[in-house]
Amino acid sequence: MISSTNYERIENTIKRELCRSINKHGMWDGYKFHQMLGKIRDEFEEVNTAYTEGDYSGPHGMYNELAQVSACCIKTMNQIIEREGK
């Protein structure tokens, strides 16, 4: 079970990263799904790089890179919902 403290920290990190990503890159309205999946893949590669370098919690460490993966996934999920209704 995840502790409430850890859950809150993770949730806040993902929210912060999602807001940063939306402000910088928008909600991907014009992206095709293969482009969105490419963005997720690219971010996951950065997680792998951080892992290989032993960086778990630095600015480009696994923790923050996983938040970027999460933001990409949320934006893609949003596009699925938005496009499903059209």
List the one residue out of 33, 16, 46 whose CA is nearest residue 73.
33
Could you tell me if 84 and 36 are in contact, meaning their C-beta atoms sit under 8 angstroms apart? no
The whole model's pTM is what? Answer: 0.92
Q: What is the DSSP string of 58-74?
A: STTSHHHHHHHHHHHHH
Q: pLDDT (tens digit, 0 to 9) for every residue of the chain, 86 residues total? A: 999 999 999 999 999 999 999 999 999 999 999 999 999 999 999 999 999 999 999 999 999 999 999 999 999 999 999 999 76
